[in-house]
Chains A and B, each alone.
Chain A
């Protein structure tokens, strides 16, 4: 079966729009703030009038990937691109808004309560009509998403796969405050995506006994970003130029590891793509 390469990563976080906006130590940099938020991206036009903030963050992450990798949107449009989305909690704000809204609010708001609203807006914006899967969970769901995307590419069911994760916390901050046993602090809103394509890279997923150094590094610098964390870790790993990326993810007492043997030192072609 053909291999899979990591072509580019795009990252937007509550620390800023670039990877180098990440502090060295998120806990210290948060200065006691429990949540670092991202403003609603300034995407205009009638099409985005109803879209929620988390939908726009998904679009912004893909735009960041395209901009940094020098690709045009038309290069990923169509049925040859798969979209695999992961989130632990980005639907929380729309769900809450719907529960607390007036009974007449449903027509506009209800479709946006679906977990599929974020990838739907991304698919519509970039006309992604290929394979399409949505996983719910923290970092382990994103590792599953990367594994599935790799399988789709390797089997030739698509020419490339976009793995996207979005997490927002602001609107449910009071609820998250009740689940300190499940979530670390600071909570950092984020949207991140990775583009996978055919190549000679080898991607392997298995249980992991302990967190990888790269995952710990991503957590230390970014804070709690749930499903976005493995993608941020990949972005940080690309910067090092290592040809073997070892990313782990934890959620609900489980830890999954993803080992990605890249065909060449990553930094030579991809280090600037975050």
Chain B
């Protein structure tokens, strides 16, 4: 069943390639590399110690800095967003929904180190603590929720936010995703040998793994009929689905992702021929990129070979809970400015990945309807269909 579109009024971000939306966008278009050696915590015992680390998170002037890094990231993205658009609604009608893979897990490490107390660190370790802190800081008293569909969380959160607007649970919704780098997640991916010692090369024949990143991305959403001023675009459809296949690997045929794409297109009321551009999850692992390519071809048919597709993880790293929201924002900015950012690191074609990946340099194109795909641990898949101002 097609649903009413929801307007995306504005966006705010903090990322390894730029500390606000403008810097993020220019970094994507110019092909800026945000990968560096991690400085904030110990990595000398890991195989790989590089990631998209944000060296300095913008702070509010005179404001008290939260102890939790994930919360710092969320609040920085919120300041960027609110610098671009006001929150024009009663507090009880403002909803907040954010997605995360890790929440405030770094606070758990600190709480376990400090056996004597730090109740705040224990509470901060709950995955919904950063989202709750954001809602409090915004003074939002409408619906509040944290979504955790692993690395697809940032897409699912936008879908839930849109549902709140359609069902009149809120008049405006701040929605998005976040995650901070910490030893917990670096150790985990390092042990899984998912991290590459080389550069990230999404869809390239020589791709050897992913690198992590950190960041936060938020959008301000409202019902179409309630928005009269400037807007970035619209969210037309969303679907999140299950693989039911493996705890950490995607289904070998990408059946969950294919199903998510079909679901999002159906909600949007559009078909494959309407899709002008695909923002892929594109982590740079052998398995993900091959399966994702197959799923996109299965879902879009012949159209998949006619349109550009990119992955922005080559320069950002995989920002986990933030990734899907950053990619959705990228789709809307591509429509606005008529330019599609490149897939950094893509140099040699892989027969198993045979689509147009916009290698290395940005391309002039003005997609109207974009599809954004995401996958995550636990068989999570999500797809968004977005309409920009083309």
Interface set of A (CB-CB < 8 Å, partner B): 50, 79, 83, 88-89, 91-92, 95-96, 98-100, 103-107, 110-117, 119-121, 123-124, 126-137, 140-141, 144, 147-148, 151, 155-157, 175-176, 178-179, 181-182, 205, 207, 252, 254, 256
In the complex, the 5 A-B pairs of residues with the closest C-beta atoms, listed nearest first: A106-B191, A116-B378, A132-B242, A110-B188, A120-B378
8 A Cβ contacts from B229-248 to A: 239-248
**A95-B108, A106-B192 given; A133·B256 CB < 8 A:** no
Report the minimum CB–CB distance from B123 to chain A (whole Å): 5
Q: Is B144 an interface residue (CB 8 A)?
A: yes
List 20 additional A-B contacts (Cβ < 8 Å) besides A117-B378, A120-B244, A131-B239.
Answer: A92-B108, A100-B112, A106-B187, A106-B188, A106-B190, A110-B187, A110-B191, A114-B377, A117-B377, A120-B242, A124-B244, A126-B244, A128-B244, A132-B240, A134-B149, A144-B145, A155-B3, A157-B1, A178-B118, A207-B92
Number of interface residues of B (CB under 8 A): 64
B240 touches A131 (CB 8 A): yes
A254 touches B144 (CB 8 A): yes
Q: Is B284 an interface residue (CB 8 A)?
A: no
Report the minimum CB–CB distance from A241 to chain B (whole Å): 29
B240 touches A95 (CB 8 A): no
A145 and chain B: residue at smallest CB distance: B145
A124 touches B245 (CB 8 A): yes
A-B contact pairs, 25 of them (CB 8 A): A79-B259, A88-B126, A92-B125, A95-B105, A99-B184, A106-B192, A107-B191, A111-B377, A116-B376, A129-B241, A132-B240, A132-B256, A133-B240, A134-B156, A134-B380, A135-B146, A137-B145, A144-B143, A151-B163, A155-B3, A157-B263, A175-B112, A178-B122, A182-B123, A205-B169
B241 touches A130 (CB 8 A): yes
B101 and chain A: residue at smallest CB distance: A114
8 A Cβ contacts from B75-117 to A: 92, 100-101, 103, 105, 108-109, 111-112, 117
**A106-B191, A131-B240, A132-B241 given; A116·B377 CB < 8 A:** yes
Docked complex Cα distance between A233 and B84 (Å): 44
Docked complex Cα distance between A127 and B251 (Å): 12
B118 and chain A: residue at smallest CB distance: A178
Q: Is B228 an interface residue (CB 8 A)?
A: no
Report the minimum CB–CB distance from A267 to chain B (whole Å): 29
B114 and chain A: residue at smallest CB distance: A178
Docked complex Cα distance between A91 and B125 (Å): 10
A103 touches B45 (CB 8 A): yes
- A79, A99, A116, A182 pick with most chain B CB within 10 angstroms: A116
Docked complex Cα distance between A91 and B255 (Å): 27
Q: Is B150 an interface residue (CB 8 A)?
A: yes
B118 touches A136 (CB 8 A): no
Q: Is B128 an interface residue (CB 8 A)?
A: yes
Q: Is B127 an interface residue (CB 8 A)?
A: yes
A252 touches B149 (CB 8 A): no
A129 touches B256 (CB 8 A): yes
Docked complex Cα distance between A269 and B247 (Å): 36
Report the minimum CB–CB distance from A132 to chain B (whole Å): 4
- Which residue in A98, A133, A156 is a CB contact (below 8 Å) of B149? A133
**A116-B379, A123-B379 given; A141·B191 CB < 8 A:** no
